[in-house]
Homo-oligomer: A and B are copies of this chain.
Amino acid sequence: MLPALENYLQFIQQIHPLSPESIEAILPFLAQRNFYKKEFLVRQGNISDELHFILSGCVREYFEDANTDEINTWFGFENAVAVSTHSFFSQKPSLTNIQALEDTETIVIKHGDLQKLFNQFHEIERLGRLLAEQYLIQMEEIKIILQTLSAKQRYEYLLQHKPEFIKRIPLKYLASFLGIKLETLSRVRGQK
């Protein structure tokens, strides 16, 4: 039916193996979506009723602060789930944008359809729980980076633990993600 589902199904099975019946039930609700570079998966102010699994490409999540500076909050690559958490969970207007940084292919599932699947299949609800737990752990890790490291140490953290960030994401976006200014990031890169 839908091509390129292998990665998607593998991603799911690795978080929580599902029965063939559950898989069968999910498939009709999936759709592939393609975004050109700079297109938006999610728009600030809109209710985000879609959860994306990234097949290929790369996205950033960001919002505009009081000074209309862009603050980048999250980056996602192949085989990651991209979602405006607050908006998707609570079905309220999104505080953030999610934008393709490269041409990007995703598989989407609608909030309403996912709720139906949660109702119908306990094991899909479990998958949801485990996914939320994993996401939470990742968030805590980044929080501790911001809480404890200097500008230089933050950059070194990326080098060691998120090398793909440095390869694929412009520095101007990485800076606000790291909570520092572009010029500082540039200088810190020069050192050592």
Contacts and interface: CB of A to CB of B under 8 A. Distances in A.
Contacts of A29: none
A147 B85 contact: no
**Which of A65, A133, A179 is the most central at the interface, judged by chain B CB atoms within 10 Å of its CB?**
A133
Interface in A51-107: 65, 71, 73, 85-86, 89
A128 interface: yes
Interface stretch (A5-13, A38-46, A135-143, A184-192): A135-143
Interface residues of A, number: 28
A128 B126 CA distance: 9
Given A132-B133, A139-B139, A71 B144 contact: yes
B136 A179 contact: no
A139 B143 contact: yes
A148 B71 CA distance: 8
Contacts of A144: 71, 73
A147 B72 CA distance: 9
A122 B147 CA distance: 37
A122 B85 CA distance: 23
19 contacts: A65-B148, A71-B147, A71-B148, A73-B140, A73-B144, A73-B147, A118-B126, A125-B126, A132-B132, A136-B136, A136-B139, A139-B139, A142-B143, A143-B146, A146-B147, A146-B179, A147-B179, A148-B176, A148-B179
Q: Which 7 A-B pairs have the closest CB atoms?
A: A132-B132, A129-B129, A146-B146, A122-B122, A147-B179, A143-B143, A136-B136
